[in-house]
Amino acid sequence: MNYRHICIAGMLAHHGLKTAHEALEFGAESVSMRLLLMRHIMMEIANVADLASIAVGLHKNHPDLSEIYRPVKKALEFFKYIRNVYIGHFVPDLTDKTFEWIPFTNALVGSDDHDKQWLASWFALETAINTYADPDTGHKIFVSDTDLNYPPDHTRFLNYLGETTHGSLAYVARLIQISRTKFETPDVHADMLELAKIAGQTEFSVLTKGKR
């Protein structure tokens, strides 16, 4: 297990999630900015889900970490799905389902109007939420279809997002603390000469995802 990676990746996810959440809580000035912040929050929650999947081995010896993780596990998987079909990747199947679910999307196609582009993204988010369902058992998260323009549904989703954000921040904060105890780092003051020598020999090439 690459504890140094887990620690640094956790720090980045915590910073991005906390910053975007605070910006949204303090009141973004436009619906476009609010949606942008929501997208970033969901992306960082998905990144926490990725970290949780590779750090699961830490749960056995750190039951408190497992206790924090358990209540948000289902939500982490949900937002990981949203990232994979709507944010990190916008998949063709979501395009097709959005036009099917919200016919008004046809009136937005090709527009360079900023508000209409926001609306297209809003419709796609709503559709992505609704596709997280099983044909036999129904929606996996909410008890009914989600209509983000219907205030109760809108509030339901925002509350779920907020609760997951707080849970994710708590989990990744503890994960950072634990993983930091699992590896050593050089003294950047005492060892700076040698570290600088190594830095000067750095060669760069395109990175691949590789093993986590």
Amino acid at 101: W
Phi-psi group of 165: left, alpha or beta (phi > 0 → left; psi -120 to 50 → alpha; rest → beta):
alpha
Quick: pLDDT tens for 66-116. Answer: 999 999 999 999 999 999 999 999 999 999 999 999 999 999 999 999 999
State the Cα angle at 48 between 143 and 176, rounded to 5°: 140
Unique residue bearing structure tokens 């983000």? 148
Flag whether the pTM goes above 0.85: yes
Give the residue, 128 or 138, on which the prediction is more confident: 128
pLDDT at 117: 98
pLDDT at 210: 66
pLDDT at 211: 55
77 is a domain residue = yes
pLDDT at 186: 86
192 is a domain residue = no
Residue 51 structural domain: 3-187
- What SS3 state is found at 21? helix
Task: Look at the chain and report how many structural domains it folds into.
Answer: 1
Task: Give 187's pLDDT tier (boundaries 50, 70, 90).
Answer: confident
209 is a domain residue = no
Mean pLDDT of the chain: 94
Quick: pLDDT tens for 16-44. Answer: 999 999 999 887 779 999 999 999 999 99
156 is a domain residue = yes
112 is a domain residue = yes
